Amino acid sequence: MKPKLSPARRRLAAPSTKLLCLLIVMTLGSLAPVAAASTSPEEQQTWITLGADAFATIQQDIDVTLGHQPLTKFDERSDVVLTRVPTSDLADISAKIHTAHRRCGGFMAHSTLRQAQETLSRVDAPNRGAPIVYTLDQQPRVRQLASRIQEAPILATMTSLSTDFNNRYHAHPSGTSASQWIRNQWQGYAFSRPDVVVELVSHPGETSQPSVVLTIPGTTLPNEVIILGAHLDSIAGGTSNPDFLAPGADDDASGIAVLSEVIRVALAEGFSPQRTVSFMGYAAEEVGLVGSQAIAADYRAAGTNVVAVLQFDLAAFNGSTEDFGLLSDFTNSTLTTFVAQLIDTYQPDLLWTSTACGYGCSDHAAWHNQGYPTAMPTEARFGEHNQTIHSTSDTVATLGDSAAHAAKFARLGMAFMVEIGIDAGGEIFANDFEEGSTNGWSSIAP
């Protein structure tokens, strides 16, 4: 699925979170050309994939299916169902799922049956395509770098992004200003690192908002790429007004702030991985994973060997007994297990649990759908996450003016980057490039 933004989407004002969810799904539905063969020729149908529980809910709902054929389950893999629904029912179905399962959207719409089947087959094969063995052998370096992570810069980034811009909506000038602000911040961190590249990546024909990418080139394995990402846009009701408020402090300034802190510490400490590491602030996630889908498709087309992708979306609201919810859908189970090991090893007092959105709820799904291994740690079990997202109340005040929870994700991100970025042979330091130098492993501070 590669959604395009319909003009109707931009015109619509969405006064409530619930309605906003509907509009997103309506857009996704209308974006899809709806080429699916129809049971009745005059009625447009859309292929969707959704959780088996959500399928059962809408199947039972006489209001939603009233006047239509009963829903057919065309396929099912790992509790994800493929079905076909009248396009005109998409909004009702979304509302039903939202009410019954507290999912916003709650399903993925697909342009063709083939795309729907591809999505389903990947759900069923989460281990396919783990291209390297993930090893845990960099403990001194991880501990040294993770100990430098601070809450204050994370809170500062969340505060700036959620208060210096009315919104970071993809189609408004403030959304582009936010991209530029992040680019400037990241350039500041890379000031003394000429090897590090910071760029705006535009998405012509898709959105006016650019994504932001910072790349630390790998020293000895530069063709093996690790990606840490978060989405930089925000959304809330009233998108037709360029000045509407969508602070998005948690969704997903928290993810950007986590990336920023990992970058800040890594570059300040002269970290130079063997594998290439890219940090990505994705544009236009809230309107259908637009930036990440464009980038992931480009990487696939170029044959880029992405060995691991980590997504941070919602990191600052401590809503569950456990500290991390590790998504089990649209992710790679080998990489997710490795992320759990990173938590157990480096933050042993913290708890994680497995959870699922039930649909491709964030940018990890864009990479997953291109066949790349992804993992996504999020702030809570799905449903116990911050309920103010997509509203004017998604502020740092709602997060208790604290980045304590988000700092756990920054430490995890650091561990992920170092452990996968460095092969067992060790790291070469940025300042160790003189002729004849060996790698800098022995110079690591305790």
Q: CA–CA separation, 163 vs 348, rounded Å?
A: 34
- 10 Å Cβ neighbour count for 102? 13
Site string for ligand BES, 287-326 (x = CB under 6 A): -xx-----------------------xx------------
Q: Which of ligand BES, Zn ion, none interacts with 181 (beta carbon under 5 to 8 A by kind)? A: none
Nearest distance in Å: CB 289, Zn ion = 11
Does the annotation mark 285 as catalytic? yes
Does the annotation mark 269 as catalytic? no
Does the annotation mark 379 as catalytic? no
Among the listed residues 251, 329, 423, 427, the single contact to ligand BES using CB under 6 A: 251
Beta-ladder partners of 225: 276, 306
H/E segment holding residue 21? helix 17-31
Give me the catalytic one of 170, 390, 419, 423: 390
Nearest C-alpha neighbor of 134 from the set 284, 337, 357, 287: 337
Nearest distance in Å: CB 385, ligand BES = 4
Buried b (16+ CB within 10 A) or exposed e, 353-373: eebbbbbbbbbbbbbbbbebb
Among the listed residues 24, 120, 227, 418, the single contact to ligand BES using CB under 6 A: 24
| Cβ(295)–Cβ(283) below 8 Å | no
Give me the catalytic one of 224, 252, 286, 427: 286
Q: Is 286 in the site for ligand BES (CB under 6 A)?
A: yes
Q: Which of Zn ion, ligand BES, none interacts with 245 (beta carbon under 5 to 8 A by kind)? A: none
Comparison of 87 and 398: residue with beta carbon closer to Zn ion: 398
Beta-ladder partners of 375: 310
Does the annotation mark 390 as catalytic? yes
Residue 27, classed as helix, strand or coil, is: helix
Q: Is 233 in the site for Zn ion (CB under 5 A)?
A: no
DSSP state of 246: B
Cα 176–chain centre separation: 19
- 10 Å Cβ neighbour count for 416? 25
Among the listed residues 92, 261, 285, 329, the single contact to ligand BES using CB under 6 A: 285
* Contact stretch for ligand BES (CB under 6 A) within 57-65, 167-175, 356-364, 399-407: 356-364
* Contact stretch for ligand BES (CB under 6 A) within 110-118, 146-154, 358-366, 420-428: 358-366
**DSSP secondary structure, 160-171, as one string:** HHHHSSSB--TT
Say if strands 207-216 and 275-282 run parallel, antiparallel, or are unpaired: antiparallel
Q: CA–CA separation, 101 vs 55, rounded Å?
A: 11
Q: Is 246 in the site for ligand BES (CB under 6 A)?
A: no
Q: Is 382 in the site for ligand BES (CB under 6 A)?
A: yes
**DSSP secondary structure, 293-320, as one string:** HHHHHHHHHHT-EEEEEEE----S---S
Token duo for residue 394: 């998604």
* Strand order, beta sheet including 374-375: 197-203, 207-216, 275-282, 221-231, 305-311, 374-375
Q: Which of ligand BES, Zn ion, none interacts with 314 (beta carbon under 5 to 8 A by kind)? A: ligand BES
Number of residues lying near ligand BES (CB under 6 A): 20
Does the annotation mark 98 as catalytic? no
Does the annotation mark 199 as catalytic? no
Q: Which of ligand BES, Zn ion, none interacts with 307 (beta carbon under 5 to 8 A by kind)? A: none
Q: Which of Zn ion, ligand BES, none interacts with 284 (beta carbon under 5 to 8 A by kind)? A: none
H/E segment holding residue 92? helix 90-101
Q: Is 362 in the site for ligand BES (CB under 6 A)?
A: yes
Among the listed residues 251, 363, 394, 419, the single contact to Zn ion using CB under 5 A: 251
Residues catalogued as catalytic: 231, 251, 285-286, 313, 390
User: Which chain residues interact with ligand BES by CB under 6 A?
Assistant: 21, 24, 104-105, 251-252, 285-286, 288-289, 313-314, 357, 360-362, 378, 382, 385, 389
